[in-house]
Amino acid sequence: MFERFKKNFDRTPPELAARVPPGQYVTEKFPVLHYGSVPIYRDVETEWDLRVWGEIEQPVRFSFREFRSLPTVTITTDIHCVTRWSKLDTTWTGVQFREFLKHIPPLKPTAKYILWHCEHGFTANVPLEVMLEDDALLAYLYEGRELDPEHGYPLRALVPKKYFWKSAKWLRGIEFLSQDQLGFWERYGYHNNADPWREERYADD
């Protein structure tokens, strides 16, 4: 197994090496990795919504149409998976998280963290400050097309500065927290900070 990984790693062109964190290799594919089955919506406009609550002046809910009416941006960025693949120059369209905050009730001063709530009870946590970066989105298009169901349709978080499990798929809720709370993979031993440049893969790294 190590030799197969090393062969993949060695395929990274030298001119791209500076963009690839330690221990990663570049792939042209977009591997599918997730927990649980893939959600299927018969009628996404009636079956899906996005709820926001926690350290916020009042909870709010977006229907599918309401969310899709929010202003969007398109960015191109690199993504890095904890399973050691990196995919460069990926293009995403969605609502910049900073913009999203303009369309919900004000956050309380105590709001410091975010817990993503997804289908099947999956969760992931990130500091609020990370989602204020230019490249942090609530994304629903990949390479100009709707996300594939396997990659998070109809909505996923996009947190490029963290390992990709923090970019939670099948997003249904955003909870603002005053204190950090471990998400699903973090409770099973993944590193809470998840910085790919520091190889923060597991809690004991």
Burial class (CB in 10 A: 0-12, 13-18, 19+), 189: exposed
- Averaged over 94-118, what is the pLDDT? 98
pLDDT of residue 5: 43
What pLDDT sits at residue 204? Answer: 76
pLDDT tens digits, 44-54: 999 999 999 99
| pLDDT band at residue 205 under the 50/70/90 scheme | low
**Tokens read off for 80:** 């890095």
pTM over 0.75: yes
Using an 8 Å Cβ cutoff, are 70 and 60 in contact? no
Residue 34 has which token pair? Answer: 């997730």
Where does residue 89 fall: left (phi above 0), alpha (psi -120 to 50 degrees), or beta otherwise? left
- Angstrom distance (rounded) from CA 6 to CA 113: 37
The highest-level CATH class for domain 35-71+93-198 is: alpha beta
